Amino acid sequence: MNFSIFPPEINSSLMFGGAGSGPLLAAASAWDGLAGELGAAADSFSSVTSDLAGQAWQGPASAAMVAAAAPYSTWLSTAATQAQNAAAQANAVAGAFESALAATVHPVLVAANRSQLVQLVRSNLFGFNAPAIAAAEGQYELMWAQDVAAMVGYHGGASAAAAQLASLPQLLQGLPAAASQAAAVAISDNPMAAAVRSACDGSVSKAQILRQTAVARVERSVGIRPFPGAATAAPSVNLGVGNLGSNNLGSGNTGNTNLGHGNLGNNNLGSGNVGNANLGGGNFGNQNLGNGNTGNLNLGSGNIGNQNLGSGNTGSGNFGSGNNGDANYGSGNLGSGNYGSGNNGNANYGFGNFGSNNVGFGNSGPGGTAGNGNIGAGNTGNNNIGLGLTGNNEIGIGDTYFNTATNQFNFGGLNSGSGNIGLFNSGNNNIGFFNSGDGNFGIGNSGVTDTGFFNSGHVDTGIGNSGGLDMGFGNSGANMFTGNNLGIGNSGQNNFGVGNAGALNAGMGNSGSENMGMFNSGVGNTGNFDAGVDNTGDGNAGDFNTGYGNSGLINTGIFNAGILDTGVGSTANMTGVVANSGFGNTGTDNSGFFNTGAGGFSSGFFNTAAGGFTSGGMNSGSGNGDVGYFNSSTSPSIGFMNSGDGFDVGFFNSGPGDFNVGIGNFGNAAFDVGFFNSGATFSTGLANMAGAFLSSGAFHMGANQSGFFGF
């Protein structure tokens, strides 16, 4: 059978959808008991006939009796051996099933992955969620492969066991008629004799009768569920309530051997994890030491990827925080293989370089493009050695250099660009030192219109930012118009906080998207340590829950592993019985209290947003997907009291603009990152007003300005 053509939804449902290995184990026990009875009967029969022939009964009749009894005794012994073999093979099939079940992805995990993907795609208006979507699809492919491997192994084990089962021989065909009659008399007092005797009409062999009798005996007490069976075999032992699984120390877990609450998986030490062997909370993956990671083997929090040591990384093998790429040693790098921070490119050693293979800081190419192979600081171009050089293949400082391509010397000042104020600037219109970009204010900036130090992105305000439109420290984002981070060590897009690798998050250590809180690896959660979708509360690995430690779906309460449950520690599936969990909700598939939005799939309380898919409290408006409290925008907003067009992250953002990140941005402001910007567009900083466009810093009213007060 080709299991690879079936998705994990089918293979997992088959394995978890029936009676499990319990009936097979009961059948094995029954066959083993039958073998014991047949063996005892054979021994007793042989002993009785031997005693009779050797003592009280002598002569030809005794000899005839012994001759007639010998085949029957042999048949009883052979039948006992056959029954014992059947018991052994039934145990083997049950063992194969249990091994396959342990290796099969739980259906709830598959459903959570698909639900997360739908939510990510639904909110992926500008492609912000592409890394998270790819991660979700990659996890789904791993689930597919894991299920196929489990099913193939199960099929092989069951087939091998079945091959050892020979059909029962026609053991009674050669027995003399007298022996057959004696056997009939011997069983006349047996409670099952009537059925056996009535079937002995010559058309059915006694071996078939034996098989039917044994099967009837087993089926009378248990129901045999053949391959591909399911999982209600052994009684579970848990210390807690609402667990679906075994050996859990905690509550609301779906899985085995978890120490904590609301985990969806096995061997987790913490709460709200989706996956296995995590030490921490809110992880979506395996073997993470930390919180809110999406991936595997991360040491830190809020990472998307694998084997990161740090927080807020998008990629794998990073040592540091806020990196968007792989194998970086440092923070805020946009690229791979960098040693340092704030680099935009690959294999740089230093800080704030825009390009690749640079050693030093603040090196770039002309006009905000990449420069490569520079050694030094503030160089604009390629393959330069020195400080503040403009061009290629130069050695020197500023406008005094030796050109290795033409073998010519040039003598000039210490700045090689134009309109610069300061020293060793190779770009244009910079104020400060070692700036290779244009229109920068500060030190070592290689981007365009940056305010701060060692920024390699464009329109950044802060230190060591390699993304675009970032404000803070060590933010990498993607690039122009798709960074939009405010905080520290964010590698995602449109985040407000610290160490976020996802998109549209307000908080800390979030590797998912559209979350408000800390260490969430899911989507649309209001709370902390949530690995599911649209939960309100903490430590939820399931979806659309209101409460704490829920691994099921659409529950209101704590430690629930079921569906649509209201209360504590329930594992019941109330689908079709109730429309919502909680109290005072209208519509369907809502949890919490007094939610009246039309779209459904909301958690929290007093939400009236028309589109549904809301978490938090008192969110209203005509859109969907609000996360937080008191949001009233027409599209998803994350945080507190955001209004207007939506896609705002933070607090008190209002007006017709959208995609603002920060606090108190209002008016026609759009794509602003910072605080109290009014009417500015594509700007970062503080209190930039109408007319400010592509500006960084504070208090600007014009376009392409960095620094402060329009300078």
What integer pLDDT is reported at residue 621 of this predicted model?
78
Counted residue by residue, the chain has a size of 711
The label of the residue with tokens 């089962």 reads: 165
Q: Which of 447, 454, 440, 444 is nearest to 468 (CA)?
A: 447
Q: Which CATH number fits domain 3-221: 1.10.1060.10, 1.20.1560.10, 3.30.565.10, 1.20.1260.20?
A: 1.20.1260.20
The label of the residue with tokens 């699984």 reads: 245
Quick count: other Cβ atoms within 10 Å of Cβ 259? 17
Beta-ladder partners of 400: 397
Question: By the 8 A CB rule, do 646 and 637 touch?
Answer: yes
Q: What is the mean pLDDT of residues 241-258?
A: 91
The type of residue at 35 is A
> From CA 243, how far away is CA 259, in angstroms rounded?
11
The label of the residue with tokens 């400080």 reads: 387
Q: Which of 472, 439, 396 is nearest to 684 (CA)?
A: 472
Domain spans, the chain: 3-221
pLDDT cut 70: percent of the chain above it: 86
Q: What is the mean pLDDT of residues 624-636?
A: 89
What integer pLDDT is reported at residue 478 of this predicted model?
61
- Could you write out the DSSP letters of every residue in 526-584? EEES--SBS-EEES--SBS-EEES--SBS-EEES--SBS-EEES---B-BTTBS-SSBS
Q: Pick the most confident of 233-242, 452-461, 472-481.
A: 452-461
Give backbone dihedrals phi and psi of 114, rounded to 5 degrees, phi first. Answer: -65, -35
What integer pLDDT is reported at residue 125 of this predicted model?
64
What SS3 class is residue 94?
helix
> From CA 410, how far away is CA 546, in angstroms rounded?
71
Q: In what order do the strands lie in the sheet with 359-361?
A: 339-341, 349-351, 359-361, 375-377, 385-387, 394-397, 400-403, 408-410
Quick count: other Cβ atoms within 10 Å of Cβ 410? 15
pLDDT cut 90: percent of the chain above it: 41
Q: Which of 238, 251, 244 is nearest to 569 (CA)?
A: 251
Give per-residue pLDDT as tens, 648-702.
Answer: 999 998 888 788 899 998 877 778 899 998 877 888 999 988 778 888 899 988 8
Give per-residue pLDDT as tens, 550-602.
Answer: 999 999 999 999 999 999 999 999 999 999 999 999 999 999 999 998 888 99
> Is pLDDT at 308 greater than 50 in this prediction?
yes
What SS3 class is residue 639?
strand
What integer pLDDT is reported at residue 1 of this predicted model?
67
What SS3 class is residue 67?
helix
Q: What percent of the chain is helix, strand and coil (3-state, nearest 5)?
A: 25, 20, 55
Quick count: other Cβ atoms within 10 Å of Cβ 409? 10
State how beta strands 566-568 and 615-617 pair.
unpaired
Give per-residue pLDDT as tens, 262-281.
Answer: 999 999 999 999 999 999 99
> Is pLDDT at 14 greater than 50 in this prediction?
yes
What integer pLDDT is reported at residue 412 of this predicted model?
67
Higher pLDDT, 709 or 130: 709
pLDDT band at 198 (very low <50, low <70, confident <90, very high): very low
What integer pLDDT is reported at residue 459 of this predicted model?
92
Of the candidate ranges 18-32, 188-202, 302-316, 385-399, the one whose mean pLDDT is the lowest: 188-202
CA dihedral 187, 193, 197, 198 (to 10 degrees): 170
> From CA 252, how far away is CA 263, in angstroms rounded?
7
Question: By the 8 A CB rule, do 447 and 354 touch?
Answer: yes
Question: By the 8 A CB rule, do 303 and 312 touch?
Answer: yes
pTM here?
A: 0.64
Handedness of CA 231, 233, 236, 242 (dihedral sign): positive
> Is pLDDT at 214 greater than 50 in this prediction?
no
What integer pLDDT is reported at residue 178 of this predicted model?
39
> Is pLDDT at 247 greater than 80 in this prediction?
yes
Q: Which of 695, 635, 636 is nearest to 669 (CA)?
A: 695
Question: By the 8 A CB rule, do 110 and 553 touch?
Answer: no
Give per-residue pLDDT as tens, 375-421.
Answer: 999 999 999 999 989 999 999 998 777 778 887 777 667 788 789 89
Give per-residue pLDDT as tens, 525-538.
Answer: 999 999 999 999 99
Give per-residue pLDDT as tens, 224-234.
Answer: 333 333 344 44
Give per-residue pLDDT as tens, 39-83.
Answer: 888 787 777 777 766 776 677 766 776 777 777 778 778 888 888
What integer pLDDT is reported at residue 56 of this predicted model?
64
C-alpha radius of gyration, the chain, whole number: 36
Higher pLDDT, 210 or 549: 549
Q: Which residues of 20-34 are buried (b: 16+ CB within 10 A; e: fewer)?
A: bbbbbbbbbbbbbeb
> From CA 534, how far away is CA 530, in angstroms rounded?
9
> Is pLDDT at 642 greater than 80 in this prediction?
yes
Q: Pick the most confident of 8-22, 475-489, 571-585.
A: 571-585
Quick count: other Cβ atoms within 10 Å of Cβ 369? 12
